[in-house]
Chains A and B, each alone.
Chain A
Amino acid sequence: MSFLQLEKLRKVWPGGAVAVNGVELAVARGEFVVLLGPSGCGKTTTLRMVAGLELPSGGTIRLDGRDITRLPASERDIGMVFQFYALYPHLTVAENIAFPLECAGVPRAERLALARALAERLELTALLERRPRALSGGDQQRVALARAMARKPAVWLMDEPLGTLDSARRAEMCDFLRAQQLEHGVATVYVTHDQDEAMRLADRIVVMSAGEILQVGPPHEVYDEPAGLFVARFVGSPGMNLLEARSTGRALELAGARAALHFAREVAPGNVVLGLRPEYVRLAASGVLTGRVALDAFMGSHRYVHVETPAGRVVALASIDAPSAQGEQVGLEFDLRGVRLFDPASGSRIA
């Protein structure tokens, strides 16, 4: 029996626009679930319905077996980080962090001590007496996080809580957040459009697009076995290489390829989209495809070499030694174990 359960959840705005369309999701006790999707796909709306700030147009929300679909927000026992912080402007940082505890009946001295301890762990100590207005966006976001973490509610809901942090801070906060969540075992639904964050944090990732769930699974599964073209493109940076190909049943033909690729399984003849992650593409003196280097992106520990081929642009993962010059002709070798096939019309996975 899952702890938080969304059944056929729908939200239709008064104008008729559908923001969330039949979302089915079960979150286990202590699980960290990340809603991942492009901006405008209904992540915030879903979260707000769980929080009780938006009334669903259809469907049911259950928490610990109880139907809470129409329960007021204040009776749901939820800690939330808002996308735009929503810090109380007339309270200091310390008072902001302590505010949820006051409602929970914690005495004043204890509240402020707790706020101080949390602030220390989030490196906010120097800001405790300031008002939110005098804080940078990143600092405000960390205060919002501290406020949500002051209490240990049944569920944590976090709406892009690290969106305005610089990348070093963000990685640090990701780890802190995950550690806290593991320590307290609070079921968490976390919203982001950043797939790195999603991979780093999630027990399970929920990929959303246009109000619908496309795929649910652990990060490696969503990454390795994308359920469709959208997930293949959206997850991973850079995303999966997607090339138009023709299946002849036993083999795959690629425009400009030296030879047909022999795929392990039989596929119905016709047009397909061939997907291959950059780590399954290798630079070689001579390969299946040849092309011109369009971009050589240095990433620190590795490089992504973008190659323009007759079949389309292909990104290959390469080691940092022997960088290639732009415009240089290179060959590409494919590791066929990484090949995923999609139906070009429906975008769904074939093999």
Chain B
Amino acid sequence: MKLVRWFVLLAYLALAAAPLAWMALSSLKRRDDTIAPHAKFLPASSAVDDSASPWFEATLAAYRDLGAVHAGAQESFLGHLGSSVVIGLLSTVASVALGTCCAYGFSRFRVPGAKDWLFFVLSTRFLPPLAVVVPVLIMYRALDLQGTHLGLIVLYTVFNLSLAVWLMKGFLDEIPRAFEEAALVDGYSRGQAFLRVVLPEARTGMAVTAVFCLISAWNEYGFAMTLNSSGAVTVPAYFAGLQGNIEGMPWPQIAAGALVFVAPITVFTVLVRKSLLRGMTFGTIKQ
């Protein structure tokens, strides 16, 4: 039984990790090695003069090159990473903050038609986001938001808000009202009680919600491509934009950049992993 489990897990690991491993290998190659007719999958410390050999010379040149501007792009990878960070973080902060406030209202006060409102909030997710890309494009053009950080921040905030409201409502419902009531009786206003007593208890829930919002904003591609192809370009759109440039795809730099790009999300997710599991069970399922 145990053997079977190990076998299944290892097989899955190999399947899931293979692309990442290949990317990691590619990031250590020179460009010629990435497009060689014979696959080169073994790193070596010095060059091998045989085109059929699986060995290639490992180098960190691609990582050193992350600051370089490639043909057809206006900024280096690091510049675009900056845009991704600004847009991802600010939209996440906004979604979690607005979502928490909204969920608190639904959780603690009797809102007429609360169920319908919550369903409406959720229903904004029913439509595939890309279905509204054209109207959004027209609006953004009129508002001069195309190619700006603010444009994508607002867009991602709105798209993530419904998820944030639902997740946070689940977490806030789990926090006994008695804590706030004690604070109210002690003389604190509703707002102070929320800030001083409820928020510290909701930290885990907010971290979980933030992970979900950040992942979706960080990896978003469709809107980033259509709205921000010429300014405030995020990393996913930047990689796509390198296609067809006259120098050919800089594969080692793309591989290195992609690894750097997934690193922060991975670290963040691992940090809140325990809470994520809790969030999945009582944040969403027990609504």
| CA gap between A104 and B183 in the complex, in Å | 12
Residues 240-270 of A at the B interface (beta carbon under 8 Å)? none
Whether the Cβ atoms of B187 and A88 lie closer than 8 Å is: no
Return the chain B residue nearest A79 by Cβ. Answer: B185
Counting CB contacts under 8 A, is A89 at the interface?
A: yes
Counting CB contacts under 8 A, is B120 at the interface?
A: no
Whether the Cβ atoms of B178 and A74 lie closer than 8 Å is: no
Counting CB contacts under 8 A, is A112 at the interface?
A: no
What residues of A have a CB within 8 angstroms of the CB of B201 in the complex?
A: 89-90
Whether the Cβ atoms of A90 and B182 lie closer than 8 Å is: no
Which of B176, B182, B200: most chain A Cβ within 10 A? Answer: B182
Report B90 CB to chain A, min CB distance, Å: 27
| CA gap between A53 and B186 in the complex, in Å | 12
Q: A86-B176, A90-B200 known; A100 and B181 CB under 8 Å?
A: no
| CA gap between A242 and B176 in the complex, in Å | 44
Whether the Cβ atoms of B181 and A73 lie closer than 8 Å is: yes
Whether the Cβ atoms of A74 and B185 lie closer than 8 Å is: yes
Q: Is the interface of A mostly helix, strand, loop or mixed?
A: loop
Q: How large is the interface on B (under 10, 10 to 19, 20 to 34, 35 or more residues)?
A: 10 to 19
Whether the Cβ atoms of A72 and B187 lie closer than 8 Å is: no
Whether the Cβ atoms of A104 and B178 lie closer than 8 Å is: no
The A-B contact count (CB < 8 A) is: 57
| CA gap between A74 and B201 in the complex, in Å | 21
Counting CB contacts under 8 A, is B197 at the interface?
A: yes
| CA gap between A80 and B188 in the complex, in Å | 13
Report A153 CB to chain B, min CB distance, Å: 9
Counting CB contacts under 8 A, is B179 at the interface?
A: yes
B197-208, CB under 8 A of A: which get 1 and which 0?
100110000000
Residues 47-90 of A at the B interface (beta carbon under 8 Å)? 51-53, 72-74, 76-80, 82, 84, 86-90
| CA gap between A99 and B196 in the complex, in Å | 10
Counting CB contacts under 8 A, is B121 at the interface?
A: no
| CA gap between A266 and B197 in the complex, in Å | 64
Q: Given contacts A74-B186, A87-B182, A88-B182, could you give 6 more A-B pairs where the C-beta distance is less than 8 Å?
A: A53-B181, A74-B187, A79-B186, A84-B178, A86-B181, A90-B201
A-B contact pairs, 8 of them (CB 8 A): A53-B184, A72-B184, A74-B185, A74-B190, A86-B178, A89-B179, A99-B183, A151-B186
